[in-house]
C-alpha cells in the first residue's frame, strides 16, 4: 500500500472522512507516446478543439497555480484567451494577488479539467 501523507489546513475543523474508495477508471481514450503530437502546443490545440466541439461548459476555464516570494501556493480559475508564440494567454489585473505572484515568480501551472470528454 502506498504511503499516505497528511496535509494540515490552518483553522480547519473538518471531521475525519475517507474518500479513497471513490474512483473512476479512465480507459476509453488511451494516450501515449505513439499517438501524441511531437509539438505539445499542437497537442493541446487538438484537445481544445475537441473540448469546444463537444459543447462542454467553459472549455477555456483553467486552474492557474502560482507561488510568490512567500512560497505559499495559490490556485484560482481563469479563462484562456489565446495561444500565441507558444504561450498561454489569459487576462489578469497586475495589482491582483496572482499578478503580484507572477511578477515575483514567473513559474506557474495550468490545469484544464474536461471530465465530460472521458
Q: What is the pTM of this model?
A: 0.75
Q: Which CATH class is domain 40-117?
A: mainly beta
Q: Where are the domains of the chain?
A: 40-117
Distance CA 5, CA 12 (A): 17
Distance CA 45, CA 38 (A): 12
Tell me which H or E stretch contains 4.
none
Provide CB contacts within 8 A for 14, sequence distance 6+. Answer: none
- pLDDT tens across 16-33, in order? 888 888 887 777 777 888
For the residues 51-71, what does the mean pLDDT come to?
95
- pLDDT tens across 68-107, in order? 999 999 999 999 999 999 999 999 888 888 889 999 999 9
Q: Is the pLDDT of residue 51 over 90?
A: yes
pLDDT the model gives residue 66: 93
Among residues 101, 110, 104, 115, which one has the least CA distance to residue 44? 110
% of residues, the chain, pLDDT over 90: 56
Please report, for residues 39, 44, 46, 47, the alpha-carbon distance to residue 33 in angstroms, rounded to integers and kept in the order given.
Answer: 12, 14, 15, 15
Amino acid at each position: 500500500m502506498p504511503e499516505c501523507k497528511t496535509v494540515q489546513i490552518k483553522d480547519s475543523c473538518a471531521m475525519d472522512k475517507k474518500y479513497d474508495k471513490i474512483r473512476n477508471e479512465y480507459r476509453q481514450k488511451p494516450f501515449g507516446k505513439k499517438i501524441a503530437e511531437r509539438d505539445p502546443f499542437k497537442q493541446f490545440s487538438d484537445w481544445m478543439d475537441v473540448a469546444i466541439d463537444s459543447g462542454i461548459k467553459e472549455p477555456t476555464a483553467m486552474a492557474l497555480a502560482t507561488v510568490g516570494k512567500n512560497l505559499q501556493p495559490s490556485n484560482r480559475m481563469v479563462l484562456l484567451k489565446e495561444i500565441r508564440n507558444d504561450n498561454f494567454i489569459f487576462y489578469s489585473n497586475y495589482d491582483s494577488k496572482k499578478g503580484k505572484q507572477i511578477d515575483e515568480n514567473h513559474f506557474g501551472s495550468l490545469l484544464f479539467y474536461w471530465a465530460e470528454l472521458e
